Structure 1
């Protein structure tokens, strides 16, 4: 059995982990690149999952050789997001886990590469009450204190520093779905639970502390956290 260390604080990614927005990003990006006769492939998606918005736009524009700038790509996709994001759905197990930690007074925070405006598009219509349970939120694409996006550790170190009791990195457990996010958490010195897209090659998940098919599989006791009530 793998060796897990006890933790006291929990940090959550959002897109593709708590919300089904990775599927919506795919639809939005494909809708835009289709105008230029291009396909937004999973290989490109894999490179940008977890990245900040500006970096993601650059990668897509360059990879597909689009005849527009990264800024123009971001402007076009924003219109898609405004239509798609308000109906984001929770991923299996997300509500139970967030409510469980909140009820048991485990400090929890959101550490998402999304900009704050995109966050509100995804959450405000259906999920505001649940996301209000987080102690605080860090938005990688709009928070000036997050200098570098994932796979750099900045967002998780910034998010951890916002807890009033200032936990050490080894006291924090990160939940992630993206390879870049796992690399960021490990670079920050934190353990990380990975719930990857099933299309992600297993060799790319090896840095994770534990890999699950769904948040529903998570056992808090492994990391010294309060167990679920039967």
Structure 2
């Protein structure tokens, strides 16, 4: 999220004016699926895909994943062929990837209060299209979606993506934090999107009113 402007109800945080979201592991619980698919390909050729391998490919594009896995496991196939097989599996798996808890509620809340949002992911354009078609309401709330097709790593592209939201934020409000420094520099770290409290960042709180239990009266 990109803080900026004045806050009306916070103690330590500035008001959020724009939001940027990652995809895998943030909005969709798809990272586990990717590791499963990679493991299936490796197993087919008698190779093992370890947890250490999974850590090494964190945050990579599909192409980079293909290169890394082929090199580490010495698979008897080309990088192009591995990437093709990975995409073939993804066509069936990704559309059914479950949403991360709280994702729909948070995006809908931000959308309802007209907070511009963009998606920035190292996933391929094809992968983003697959999940977007499966969830048109969720992904239709984004002003802009950036994918690996732009050939710029997500970690270096936040300002570029933010500039494509409408209206775009001021440069002074955009900050880039390396992953290793997140624990030291993050404004707020949440275990789940369900734990995010909009009111801490100058936004209206979630409407947590319970559903009505009123029994309708039928007149004769």
TM-score category of the 2 structures, normalised to the smaller one: 0.7 to 0.9
Aligned counterparts of 2:14 and 2:74: Cα–Cα separation in 1: 45
* 2: CA distance, partners of 1:31 / 1:120: 23
The corresponding residue for 1:165 is: 167
Q: Note the alpha carbon deviations across 1:47-72, whole angstroms, 9 max, x for none.
A: 22222221121111122222222212
Equivalent position of 1:137 in the other structure = 145
Aligned pair count reads 197
Which residue does 1:219 correspond to in 2?
197
Larger Rg: 2
Q: CA deviation at 1:136?
A: 1.5
> 2:116·2:166 contact (CA, 8 Å) conserved in 1?
no
User: Does 2:21 match 1:12?
Assistant: yes
- The superposition leaves residues 123-169 of structure 1 with CA deviations (integer Å, 9 ceiling, x where unpaired) of 312x1112101111111x212xxx4324x412x12211102333135
- Write the mapping of 1:102-181 to structure 2, written as runs, cut at 5 A: 102-125=111-134, 127-139=135-147, 141-143=148-150, 147-150=151-154, 152-154=155-157, 156-169=158-171, 171-172=173-174
User: Residue deviations 1:192-215, cap 9 Å, x none?
Assistant: 9xxxxxxxxxx8862561322211
TM-score normalised by the chain length of structure 1: 0.76
Q: Which residue of 1 aligns with 2:183?
A: 206
- Secondary structure at the residue paired with 2:19? strand
Distance 1:71 1:208 in 2: 38
Cα distance in 1 for residues equivalent to 2:75 and 2:104: 39
What TM-score does the superposition give when structure 2 sets the normalisation length?
Answer: 0.79
Partner of 1:197: none
Listed as ranges, the gaps of 5+ residues in structure 1 are 174-184, 193-202
Distance 1:207 1:149 in 2: 22
Q: Given that residues 26 and 100 in structure 2 are in contact (C-alpha distance below 8 angstroms), is that contact kept between their aligned partners in structure 1?
A: yes
List gaps (5 residues or longer) in structure 2.
Answer: 1-10, 209-220
